[in-house]
Every structure is written in C-alpha cells, then in structure tokens.
Amino acid sequence: MTDTVAQHIDYKHALPAEVFTAKDLVTDQDVRWCPGCGDYSILKQVQTIVPQLNLHKEKIVFVSGIGCSSRFPYYMNTYGLHSIHGRASAIATGLKVANPDLSVWVITGDGDALSIGGNHYIHLLRRNVDVNLLLFNNQIYGLTKGQYSPTSVEGQVTKSTPMGSLDHPFNPAALSLGADASYFARSMDRDPKHLQTTLLSSAKHKGTSVLEIYQNCNVFNDGAFFIYTDKETKALEAIFVEDGKPLIFGENNTKGIRLNAQGKAEIVSLEETSINDLWIHDVKNIDKAMILSRFYDDPSDENHLPRPFGVFYDVERPSYDDQVQFQLQIANATKVPTLDEIIAGNNTWTIE
C-alpha cells in the first residue's frame, strides 16, 4: 500500500492553469488590522505567490481559527472558512480528505494553534495531511488585547502577566519536528522576498507544510523580532539556511557554524576555519533539523547562536488524504461489509 500511495495522487494540476494576478485575489472587504500590523505584509506576499501555483481560484481554500490572523480568508478572493478557536487544523483535515482536489491553506496564530488548538496541531503533523499551514507568531494574544501566549518569552510583562510570565515558551520548530512534521520552515513579515520564497517552497510540498512567520504586533508586542530584521543587528542575529550550502552569517559573511566532536553547533571565524569544515545544510536530515530547531537561545546571552530562517526540513512520506483515497479504491473494487455487519463484528452469539 505504501509504495502505491507514495506515488501520490496529483489533484492540484487536474485542470489547465488559470491565469490571474495578485489583484484578482483582493476582495471587496475592508482589511481590518491595526495600522502597521505585520499581517498586511503576509497577506501581500500570499497574494503575490498564489497566482504562480498554476491553480484555479475555485480549487483554493483558506481555513482559519480565531485571532487577528484568522480574518485572512475574508481578504482572499478564493473559497474560505473562518472556523472556531483552535480547530482550523481539524476542519482542514476533513475538508482535504473529502475534497482531495483542493489546495487547502490553514491560517493560524501562536495562540490559536499552540494553546487550545495544540492537540489538533500535532495530530495534523503526524498524519501528514496535504495542507499548507501558516503559523503567524507574534508571541502575544493580539485580538483579545495583549495576554501572554504559548510562545511569549519567560518574564514577558503582559496584561495577564503584570509581574512577568512564568511559563516556559513553546519552540514551534522543535515542537513541529517532534510531532514528525514532514516540512518546517521559518520566515518573517519584514523580509518580503524571503517570505515569498518560503511560501512557494511550502506550497510545493506534498504533505503538511508548516511555515512559521514571525509577525510583528505593533500594539501589544512591538519589535519582538526586529533584532532579526534591523540592519544594525540582522547580520549577526539571523542566519539564512539553504539546502546544500554551508551555514554562514555575520558582517561580510565572516562567521560560520560547524558541528564539534560532540555533535554540538558552535560559531567559528572564517578567518581561522576553512569553509570546508562548516555544517552543510541538508533538508533531508532530521538530526540536523532538530539541532537547528534548538538555535533558540536568548539573544542577551553573548554566546548565543543566530536564529535560523529558511527551510529546516523537507521530506516526502505518504499523506493521510492519499492513503484514504487508496483505501477507497480498494473498497470500491472489493466486497465491503454492510454497516450492520461491521457493527455486529465476527464475535456474535445467540442467547436461547
């Protein structure tokens, strides 16, 4: 069964490509996010890349949960569903299984996906349903006015933690890979070109793709990720990984990452170390992806590693929806028990 399913049933290109532009994806709805919100950039980049996917608009669906990000379906001139808190992953699973020819996108936030939606999130990943999940991470609850979220840093002062958060935050990359995600990437709202590249990569992945997007909430958590985008700090604080290329960063690319004899990542100077000794990124290597996910140090630590951006992990394995379709094909070709027979089972007896 696995070998057959692994060939994949390609529903996405069943129809000739439809020619449309980003402007055709703009709706007549007023975009109601706070001025300066990072969601505007994400919306713009999604509208930019979707016409490049060779899809019909009628075959595209955006499903969201609850939160600022979850207004997204109203602003995409495709099919959309604004669902309930934390349940977007579950609803998207049912939608994709029932309609395998659809391109399904899940729009969610760090609170929606990782708090009330945590169970649905990890089960979506282990099942590997062929959907694209965009995780808007602003490390705060924005829609409900500034409470701390599952990704808020320890000590963060919010309306619900006036003396600082005591909770240890989730690391979305480590959590996703630990749940056997077949694809994980990270980008940010303030780097449009990089975001477009990772969006395209995510969309092309067969199975559940998770793209974590650092998104600025300029009202309740302004500047949380500016250290990774500001010109003065970006070179030392962010590292952009590409498959098959060494991990290099720093001003004028003078620093690199290598794995030492203990298998731990360490920063080296390229003035003292050969580029041939550096860690070569491999999106198929789960061990390296897990190490990369732990580049999550506190920037205040002078020995911290840079925060990675790009595709961490990208492998193929059978998708849940493909396997369901395969079972249906077998069922249609063979005698299937009736519902009464299934309920009765094989272990029956008669009482006289």
Confidence of residue 15 (pLDDT cuts 50, 70, 90): low
- Domain of 90: which CATH number? 3.40.50.970
Q: Which of these, 101, 346, 130, 312, lies nearest to 212 by C-alpha position?
A: 312
Confidence at residue 75, expressed as pLDDT on a 0 to 100 scale = 98
Q: Which CB contacts under 8 angstroms, 24+ apart, belong to 199-202?
A: 199/45, 199/46, 199/49, 199/134, 200/49, 200/52, 200/53, 201/311, 201/314, 202/132, 202/134
| pLDDT: which is higher, 340 or 221 | 221
**Per-residue pLDDT reduced to its tens digit, 193-205:** 999 999 999 999 9
- Asked if pLDDT for residue 7 goes beyond 50, the answer is no
Task: For residue 246, give the DSSP letter.
Answer: B
DSSP string, 144-183: TTSB--TTPPTT---SS-TT---SPPP-HHHHHHHTT-SE
Q: Mention every residue, 6+ apart, whose C-beta is less than 8 A from residue 10.
A: none
Q: Is residue 294 part of a domain?
A: no
* Residue 260, number of CB atoms within 10 A of its CB: 9
Q: Between 95 and 300, where is the model more confident?
A: 95
pLDDT digits (tens, 9 = 90+) for 64-82: 999 999 999 999 999 999 9
- Is the model's pLDDT at 211 over the cut of 90? yes
Residue 321: which residues within 8 A CB-CB, separation 6 or more? 96, 97, 100, 129, 130
For residue 81, tell me if it sits in a domain.
yes
- pLDDT on residue 17: 64
Instruction: State whether the Cα torsion 307-135-151-39 is positive or negative.
Output: positive
Does a structural domain hold residue 325?
Answer: yes
pLDDT value of position 181: 98
Q: Does residue 50 form part of some domain?
A: yes
- Domain assignment of residue 82, yes or no: yes
What is the pLDDT at residue 335? 82
Mean of all residue pLDDT scores within the chain: 92
Q: Is residue 255 part of a domain?
A: no
- Residue 86's domain comprises 5-224+318-344
Domain count across the chain: 1
How high is the pLDDT of residue 1? 42
| pLDDT band for position 6 (cuts 50, 70, 90) | very low
Residue 85 lies in a domain: yes
What's the whole-model pTM score? 0.91
- Please report whether residue 256 resides in a domain: no
